Structure 1
Amino acid sequence: MAILLSVITRRSRFGPPLWRRSAYALAALPAGLASLTGVRVQPALAHRLLGVPSARPGRFRTILHALLSLPLGALSLLAAAYGWAIVVLNLLYPARWLIGMGGSLDSSWGGPTLAGAWAVHAAGGLVMLLLMPALMRGTTTLQARLMLRVFGGTAPNGTMAR
């Protein structure tokens, strides 16, 4: 089990690329909504956070991309917000009572003791923590590919720079 955990964490990208992708996933929907006005907010954000080649699309392509990317932006916002909330709330399970989310330990998974409930929830939080790099990479790669398709660009070497 320890070897499997070591392989998974070594292959995962916990560092600046994960945080930039997470930031883009959280900001993609608001940036897309702002881009509906024709202002190139989303392409600039993708260039800065994902390393997508800088595009200077016209107003029509900017609005077209903003419309096409709204469902994907909503999906990535949901995945990033919910995924990171699961990680934090489960790893810091005892802190739930500090923010008013506590409940009865008798009905909690791993209960009736706090140690048992925390252990079970922390295990779920760790699993989600290990899944988040792949989830963030997947959603932001789809967004970058859509942007490149609509704006007519290509990523260097077929991959994003960051």
Structure 2
Amino acid sequence: MTTSLISRPRPRVRIGGRALYCAALLPLAVAALLAVPLGRARAAAGWWLRLRSRLLGPLPPGGAGVAGRPGRAGGLVVAGHAVLSLLLGAVALLPFGALLAFVFRGVCYGLVDPGPYDTSWGGPSRAGAWAAHFLVGLPMAAVALLLLAGLAALHGRLSGVLAGQRPARWVFAVALTVPLPAVALFVAWLHQI
């Protein structure tokens, strides 16, 4: 059976929605971890599913639950999801840091660094240094946005478990593996400071 793009409408998700989704991972994971021992696991599952449906679109059909309403998510499932969300939220801090560096050291370079610009990239003029730092930061900002989009897509698939869906095994494997290179990158960055 062949399906056309017309028969399967896909929600149009912008990169800003994915970035907002990643920004909500850490605080919502902490809130969910606090809600589970208080007997509010289903409410926490509803928070995740509402966030996912608003910023990434509804869950694809095929699960036991309905998007926006918790399915069979018990306390253990919600707690496990919150722990993985906490890990992915911590990983999302790295691309957000790169975007912040782009804003301060790329877009606002001439305002942040008072000069002299003799040894700066694009120097000795202020305009040249500003342009060089902006142009060097553009690809890094693009990669950071793509990383945030990937993290949001991964977590969006992971959130299906809260609606009673069974995600593919690779989703759990990737969610557990992604923090490892992020930790290595962060440690390497700390050593170069």
Q: Calculate the TM-score normalised by the size of structure 1.
A: 0.70
Return the alpha-carbon distance in structure 2 between the equivalents of residues 16 and 114 of structure 1: 38
**2:124 partner amino acid:** P
C-alpha distance in structure 1 between counterparts of 2:13 and 2:165, whole Å = 25
Q: Is the 8 A contact 2:30 2:86 kept in 1?
A: yes
Equivalent positions of 1:111-130 (< 5 A) are 111-130=123-142
Is 2:68 the counterpart of 1:54? yes
Instruction: Determine which of 21, 25, 35 is the counterpart of 1:24.
Output: 21
- In structure 2, stretches of 5+ residues that fail to align are 1-11, 37-42, 60-66, 168-193
Q: Which of the two has greater helix per residue?
A: 1
Give the % identical residues: 35
When Rg is computed on C-alpha atoms for both structures, the one with the higher figure is 2
Aligned equivalents of 1:21 and 1:93: distance in 2?
Answer: 27
Greater relative contact order: 1 or 2 (C-alpha under 8 angstroms, separation 6 or more)? Answer: 1
Residue 77 of structure 1 aligns to which amino acid in structure 2?
L
Q: What are structure 1's unaligned runs of at least 5 residues?
A: 1-14, 156-162
Shift of 1:150: 5.8
The alpha carbon displacement at 1:55 in A equals 4.2
RMSD: 2.6
Q: How many residues align?
A: 136
Give the Cα–Cα distance (whole angstroms) in 2 for the partners of residues 61 and 68 of structure 1.
11
Deviation at 1:16, TM superposition (A): 6.2
SS in 2 for 1:105: coil
- Runs of 4+ in structure 1 deviating by more than 3 angstroms, as ranges, are 149-152
TM-score of the superposition, structure 2-length normalised? 0.60
Equivalent residues in 2 for 1:1-162, closer than 5 Å: 17-37=14-34, 38=36, 39-40=43-44, 41-51=47-57, 52=59, 53-56=67-70, 57-79=73-95, 81-89=96-104, 90-97=106-113, 102-149=114-161, 151-153=163-165
